Amino acid sequence: MNIKPVIASLLAIALSAEFITPCVGSADTMQPVKGDLNADGHFTESDLVLLQDHLMDKAVLSKELSEKADMNGDGKVNSFDLVLLRQAVEKNINAPTQPATTAPVTTAPVTTTTAKATTVTTTQTTAPATTTAAPVTTAKPKYDLYTTYNVTTYLNIRTETNTNSPVLGTIPAGAEFKVTSINGSWAYAEYNGVIGWVNTAYITKKDTPVEPADDIYTTYKVTIYMNIRKEPNVGAAVLGTIPAYADFKVLENDNLWAKAEYNGVTGWVNAAYIIKKGTTNSAYKYPYAAATLDKVGWDLKTAFTQAASIKYYGHTDDMPQDDKTTMEWYANYGFKNGKGNCYVMAAMFCEMARAIGYECHQISGRVPLSAGGFGPHSWTEVVIDGTTYVCDPDFTNETGRNGYMITYGQSGTWRYIKDTTMN
Residue 88: other Cβ atoms inside 10 A: 21
What's the pLDDT at 404?
Answer: 97
The top-level CATH class assigned to 287-421 is alpha beta
Residues 6+ apart with CB under 8 A from 177: 145, 146, 147, 171, 189, 190, 191
Compute the distance between CA of residue 313 and CA of residue 295 in angstroms, rounded to an integer. 23
User: 205: part of which helix (H) or strand (E)?
Assistant: strand 203-205
Q: What is the pLDDT of residue 58?
A: 63
> Would you say residue 7 has pLDDT above 90?
no
Supply the mean pLDDT for the chain. 76
The 10s digit of each residue's pLDDT in 47-73 is 777 887 777 666 777 888 888 888 878
Q: Which alpha helices (H) appear in 16-116, and where do they start and end?
A: 45-55, 63-69, 79-90
What is the pLDDT, as a whole number, of residue 56? 66
pTM above 0.75, yes or no: no
Domain ranges across the chain: 4-39+50-77+84-126, 144-205, 213-280, 287-421
388-402 in b/e form (b: 16+ CB < 10 A) is: ebbbbbbbbbeeeee
Same fold, 144-205 and 213-280: yes
CA 67 vs. chain centroid, Å, equals 33
List the one residue out of 332, 384, 400, 343 whose CA is nearest residue 367.
343
Output the pLDDT for position 284. 55
DSSP code of residue 164: T
Q: What does the pLDDT look like over 337-383, one tens digit per residue?
A: 999 999 999 999 999 998 887 889 999 999 999 889 999 999 999 99
Dump the DSSP string for 363-394: EEEEEE-TTSSEEEEEEEEEEETTEEEEE-HH
Q: Which CATH superfamily, name and number, covers 144-205?
A: SH3 Domains (2.30.30.40)
CATH, range 213-280 = 2.30.30.40
The CA-CA-CA angle for residues 12, 18, 21, to 5°, reads 100
pLDDT in tens, 291-330: 898 889 889 999 999 999 999 998 887 889 998 888 988 9
How big is the chain, counted in residues?
A: 423
pLDDT in tens, 206-241: 764 433 434 788 887 777 889 999 998 888 899 999
Strand order through the sheet with 186-191: 167-172, 154-158, 194-199, 186-191, 176-183, 144-148, 203-205
Inter-residue contact 158 to 167 (CB < 8 Å)? yes
